[in-house]
Amino acid sequence: MNVTRLLHRISGAAAVLLMLGFVSLAPVTAASAATGADVASLATANITKTAGTCANNPTYNSLGGSEFEHSCDGNNGTPEYWCADFAMWVWQNAGYYTGGLDAGAASFYTYGQNNGTLHTGTGYTPQVGDAVEYGSTQDSEIHHVGIVTAVNADGSVDTVNGDWGGTTGTGSMAGFAVSSSVVKITLPAGQTSVGSVPSTVDTKDGYKIVGYTTPVTGSGSFGTNPYTAPQVCGSGYGIIDSHDLGSATVFLLYNGSTGSNCVTTLVKNPSGPVALNANLTVQGGSPVTDTGTYTDYAGPVSAAAANSCVQWGGSYAGTSWTSPWGHCGTGAPTPSPATGNPYTAGQVCGSGYTVTDSHALGNATVYLLYNSATGNNCVTTLADNPSGAVSMNATLAVQGGSSGSNPGSFTYYAGPVVENAPTACVMWGGGYGTTSWTSPWSHCG
């Protein structure tokens, strides 16, 4: 396992890269300004997604995360109402400041008051990227928050909403949260101003618009931290997951060109040195950690994990968190051919597919690939050192849907077996000789 570690200063000096024995300067470049279009794009990419892997229909968010902020565990370890979790997750990962936001929809109203970006006048025209807060004609509470994704020429406004359409009457917060999803709702022309009761929202509960809040620009997700997670990890890395620690956030990033993951813990509003940690473990490998007293961030800690699951986490002062095993080869490039086999998994499955996971069978390897353009998964089992026909198999099943397999005697590979599963979990596996393996339900969209 190749490991890259960065040692950095406690205050604002440039980071120093210590990499396998040589030292080079790693200047941090300025972050590009976040835009409302970034917010709209990210929100729209998650339409039909559920609370996460805890939901009745388990899904991963568009960045590969298993939940939106604390959608699956914010209610004393169980799923919570997550419309605000979704909106906060979108703003944060689009590069806006999220200080003061929490799982309550009312926190977006308060955020607007605190930052001077709350709009309650009836003449305000909503902007792309705004949060829209809903109260009710039946009480004085704020019940829901959505994201404005388009302001149309006909005067209507498109919004994307987390935690919508859940099963009512379940008797619990968790029961609703695991049955809801992210949906697009269009506010009709003439029903978009503050005080309106849109006919397309929740007329039964009298939902009315009580305000719009514009996100505050800053340095990435934080108000006073001069660094962003991609700046810390370096060129080529993109955020695929994050977890809120209260006064800090731990980020998991991935570089699709190198197959490397990176973890860093960023303080939201640095005010002096504090105990921080960032950690990363590749399944089957050794942990990589950076623990110390830092002002701005811990890490980055990096490790190659193109075809392996990772466990990642971090800490701020007395608050710590570690993920379960996940992100098993997300975005990984197709590996080189197995020794002696003239074919690769990418060649077998065809153009547009990349390896997302694999499992060794001894003298062969079974691969799971994904085509993001079509939503198709593909499974193939490749012999490591072909020497003649051997009993082989490749299997793929879509949760709640169809399944396929390709058993037979082959020299080089079994498969490809292809099934469409853009929003569903899959069970995949293969066999070589007398050795067989099947995964649990995973890779949920």
CATH architecture of 345-438: Sandwich (2.60)
Mean pLDDT of the region 4-29: 30
Residue 127's pLDDT is what? Answer: 97
Q: Is 395 helix (H, G, I), strand (E, B) or coil?
A: strand
pLDDT of 10 above 50: no
Its pTM stands at: 0.54
Average predicted confidence (pLDDT) for the chain: 83
Task: Tell me the Cα Rg of the chain.
Answer: 23
Averaged pLDDT, 376-384: 91
Assign 218 a pLDDT band (cuts: 50, 70, 90): low
Select the more confidently predicted residue: 187 or 62.
187
d(CA 302, CA 289): 9
State mean pLDDT over 19-47: 63
The mean pLDDT of 118-126, rounded to a whole number, is: 93
pLDDT in tens, 228-277: 888 899 888 877 777 878 788 898 888 877 888 999 999 988 889 999 99
Mean pLDDT of 58-66: 86
Taking only the tens place, the pLDDT of each residue in 176-215 is 999 999 999 999 999 999 999 999 999 999 999 999 999 9
CATH code for the domain defined by 223-322: 2.60.40
Among residues 309, 312, 218, the alpha carbon closest in space to that of 262 is found at 312
Q: Is residue 6 scored above 50 in pLDDT?
A: no
| Domain residue ranges of the chain, discontinuous segments joined by + | 36-213, 223-322, 345-438
Over range 159-172, report the average pLDDT: 86
CB contact at 8 A, 61 and 68: yes
Whether CATH 3.40.50 fits 36-213? no
Q: Same CATH topology for 223-322 and 345-438?
A: yes
Which of 274-278, 326-330, 441-445 has the highest mean predicted lDDT (pLDDT)?
Answer: 274-278
Q: How far apart are CA 78 and CA 84, in angstroms?
A: 16
Query: pLDDT by residue (tens digit) across 278-316?
Result: 999 988 788 899 999 999 999 999 988 877 788 999 999
